[in-house]
Amino acid sequence: MNILLIGSGGREHALAQSLHASPSTTALYAFPGNPGMNGIATLVDSLSLNDSGTIIAFCKQHAIDLVVVGPEAPLVKGLADELRSHSIAVFGPSAKAARIESSKGFSKDLMKRHGIPTAGYEHFTKEQIHEAHAYIHDRALPIVVKADGLAAGKGVIIAETHDEAHAAIDEIFSGLFADAGSSIVIEDFLKGEEASVFAITDGQNSILLAPAQDHKRAKDGDLGKNTGGMGAYAPAPLVTEEIMNRVDNEIVRPMLKAMHEEGFPFVGCLFVGLMIDAGKPSVVEFNCRFGDPETQAVLSVFRGDLATLLHSAAIGALDASAMQSRAEGFACNVVMASGGYPDDYETGHKILGLDKISEIPQISVFHAGTKLLPDGSIITSGGRVLGICGLGATLSEAIQQAYIGVEYIHYQKRYFRTDIGKKGLHVTNP
Cβ 97 to ligand AMP shortest distance, Å: 18
- What is the size of the binding site for ligand AMP (CB under 6 A)? 14
Residue nearest to ligand GLY (CB): 291
The span from the CA of 226 to the CA of 312, in Å, is 36
Cβ 267 to ligand GLY shortest distance, Å: 19
> According to CB under 6 A, which residues from 175 to 234 bind ligand GLY?
214, 229
- Dihedral pair phi/psi, residue 408, rounded to 5°: -80, -20
> According to CB under 6 A, which residues from 97 to 126 bind ligand AMP?
119
Cβ 187 to ligand AMP shortest distance, Å: 5
Cβ 255 to ligand GLY shortest distance, Å: 17
Cβ 194 to ligand AMP shortest distance, Å: 6
Residue closer to ligand GLY by CB (options 35, 229) is 229
Cβ 40 to ligand AMP shortest distance, Å: 31
List 94, 206, 287, 333, residue binding ligand GLY (CB under 6 A): 287
87-95, 291-299, 365-373, 396-404 -> range binding ligand GLY (CB under 6 A): 291-299
- What is the size of the binding site for ligand GLY (CB under 6 A)? 6
Q: Are the beta carbons of 324 and 304 closer than 8 angstroms?
A: yes
Q: Is 143 in the site for ligand AMP (CB under 6 A)?
A: no
> According to CB under 6 A, which residues from 153 to 192 bind ligand AMP?
153, 156, 158, 187, 189-190
The span from the CA of 400 to the CA of 391, in Å, is 9
Give just the sign of the alpha carbon dihedral 24, 30, 31, 33: positive
Partner in contact with 291, chosen from ligand AMP, ligand GLY, none, beta carbon below 5 to 8 Å by kind: ligand GLY
Residue closer to ligand GLY by CB (options 187, 285) is 285
Cβ 232 to ligand GLY shortest distance, Å: 7
The span from the CA of 304 to the CA of 311, in Å, is 13
CA contacts within 13 A on the Cβ side of 89: 19
Cβ 49 to ligand GLY shortest distance, Å: 19
List 210, 270, 284, 313, residue binding ligand AMP (CB under 6 A): 284
Residue closer to ligand GLY by CB (options 287, 338) is 287
Partner in contact with 316, chosen from ligand AMP, ligand GLY, none, beta carbon below 5 to 8 Å by kind: none
Residue closer to ligand GLY by CB (options 18, 362) is 18
Closest CA to 8 of 307, 372, 389, 298: 372
List 285, 292, 294, 305, residue binding ligand AMP (CB under 6 A): 285
Residue closer to ligand GLY by CB (options 229, 235) is 229
The span from the CA of 122 to the CA of 187, in Å, is 7
Binding mask 191-230 for ligand AMP (x = CB under 6 A): ---x---------------------x--------------
Q: Which residues bind ligand GLY (CB under 6 A)?
A: 214, 229, 287, 291-292, 294
Q: Which residues bind ligand AMP (CB under 6 A)?
A: 119, 144, 146, 153, 156, 158, 187, 189-190, 194, 216, 273, 284-285
